[in-house]
Amino acid sequence: MHWDIFCRVIDNYGDIGVCWRLAAELCARGVPVRLRIDDASALAWMAPQGAPGVQVLPYDAAYAEHPAVVIEAFGCEAPAPYLAALSRRHAHCHSHHQPRPVLVNLEYLSAEDYVERCHRLPSLIMSGEGRGLTRWFFYPGFTARTGGLLREADLLLRQAQFDRPAWRQAHGLGDGDCAISLFCYEPPALPQLLGQLAHPVAGWQPRLLVTPGRATLAVQAQVGAQALQPRYLPPRTQAEFDAMLWACDLNLVRGEDSLVRALWAGQPFVWHIYPQDDQAHHAKLDAFLDWLQAPASLRAFHHAWNGMRDAASLPTLTPDLLREWRHCAQQARANLLQQADLIAQLQPFAAEKS
């Protein structure tokens, strides 16, 4: 029985990035998936080869071939005609004592306390086309009382087989270079970081690898940035993005998908959280840093990088600082590897609710 995943692409590729990884890994574990998406254009570079078992359809494609599970990612809602057909199927299965389709709202990632309270809670749809359906809330997270994080079954094997020296050599990095990947929005402290990299501490040679899009535009807008000779990277597939994180000595990431990938990489990282007008992201970032048990220097860097304190307070990057951050990242990774991954939790949950 296949699953349907609904995804609306808002901006910045994080939503489609998460949904594609989820769809591809479900298929790798034997579950065919129809990814119903309103803008699939990013898949041309993110996943140009597709994935066996994943069918990509328009968001409003007609309901067909009764799904076992329907996932509405990040609070998007399936189209009304689809919900109506799903509701009819649900009623039919109930009256005939058959497994019923399960409707799941896969929520945003957060380390805040409410996640553990709200994980796996039901919400009965009382009106509209989906009347009679129960929407189940499934929260990814960082603790055993949440839905866990997306992690491929073969991730550890791929990391063990990764040729880090070869990757670095192919990207023009010397043995003593400190490779820093930059995947960001427009961080307030970017000028301060670029100034640091232009005048590094003695014996330390940072090399900046800049991802395309907003990160490239943000760097190019800074006066004198070209003196750093940053390497502007082309668009990368998800597998290539993961390899970049494994190969670099510091990863500056943004949004949800790349944060999770940085955690699995086990290298020092800084998270540029998606900014919200009401500053709600500040509490979200601090909750994550609390879970991470971030040392004071890493917390201070996050606060300056995300505009929560003066940009001039950005700590100066040094090899000693990165060693401290690497220890923190690897401890967090080890803790997460002890927990069941998101799909390993989501599949039995859906089977139980059917």
Q: What is the pLDDT of residue 109?
A: 96
Q: What is the pLDDT of residue 187?
A: 95
For range 42-56, the mean pLDDT? 96
- Sequence length of the chain is 354
pLDDT at 51 over 80: yes
pLDDT at 292 over 90: yes
Q: How confident is the model at residue 297 (pLDDT cuts 50, 70, 90)?
A: very high
- Phi/psi-derived region of residue 283, left when phi > 0, alpha when psi is between -120 and 50, beta in every other case: alpha
What is the token pair recorded at 120? 């796996």
Q: Quick one: 120 and 200 in the same domain?
A: no
Q: Quick one: 210 and 70 in the same domain?
A: no
Burial of 251 (0-12, 13-18, 19+ CB in 10 A): buried
Q: Quick one: 169 and 312 in the same domain?
A: yes
Q: What is the pLDDT of residue 175?
A: 86
Q: Quick one: 283 and 196 in the same domain?
A: yes
Sign of CA dihedral 249, 254, 257, 263: positive
Active-site position among 15, 72, 112, 242: 15
Burial of 140 (0-12, 13-18, 19+ CB in 10 A): buried
pLDDT at 11 over 80: no
Q: Quick one: 92 and 158 in the same domain?
A: no
pLDDT, tens digit (0-9, with 9 covering 90-100), for 181-214: 999 999 999 999 999 999 888 788 999 999 999 9
What is the token pair recorded at 261? 């990938």
Active-site position among 112, 256, 257, 341: 256
Q: How confident is the model at residue 342 (pLDDT cuts 50, 70, 90)?
A: very high
Question: Coil, helix or strand for 318?
Answer: coil
Q: In whole angstroms, what is the distance from residue 324 CA to residue 99 CA? A: 51
Q: What is the domain range of residue 209?
A: 154-338
Q: What is the pLDDT of residue 223?
A: 85
Is 107 noted as a catalytic residue in this protein?
no
Q: Which residue has the tokens 């019923």?
A: 100
Is 286 noted as a catalytic residue in this protein?
no
The overall average pLDDT reported for the chain is 95
Sign of CA dihedral 141, 144, 148, 152: positive
Instruction: Give the number of domains in the chain.
Output: 2
For range 51-75, the mean pLDDT? 96
Q: Quick one: 174 and 305 in the same domain?
A: yes
pLDDT at 12 over 80: no
Q: What is the pLDDT of residue 152?
A: 98
Q: What is the pLDDT of residue 200?
A: 86
50: enclosing H helix or E strand: none
Q: Quick one: 129 and 196 in the same domain?
A: no
The CATH number of whichever domain residue 188 belongs to comes to 3.40.50.2000
Q: Quick one: 91 and 207 in the same domain?
A: no
Q: Quick one: 145 and 166 in the same domain?
A: no
Q: Quick one: 79 and 139 in the same domain?
A: yes
pLDDT at 148 over 90: yes
pLDDT, tens digit (0-9, with 9 covering 90-100), for 103-139: 999 999 999 999 999 999 999 999 999 999 999 999 9
pTM above 0.85, yes or no: yes
pLDDT, tens digit (0-9, with 9 covering 90-100), for 221-239: 998 888 889 999 999 999 9
Q: Quick one: 142 and 194 in the same domain?
A: no
Q: In whole angstroms, what is the distance from residue 33 CA to residue 44 CA? A: 18
Q: In whole angstroms, what is the distance from residue 55 CA to residue 245 CA? A: 28
Q: Quick one: 116 and 180 in the same domain?
A: no
Exposure string over 10-30, b if 16+ CB within 10 A, otherwise e: eebbbbbbbbbbbbbbbbbee
Task: Find the largest Cα–Cα distance for the chain.
Answer: 74
Q: What is the pLDDT of residue 85?
A: 97
Hey, what's the torsion of the CAs at 115, 84, 42, 249, to 10 degrees?
10
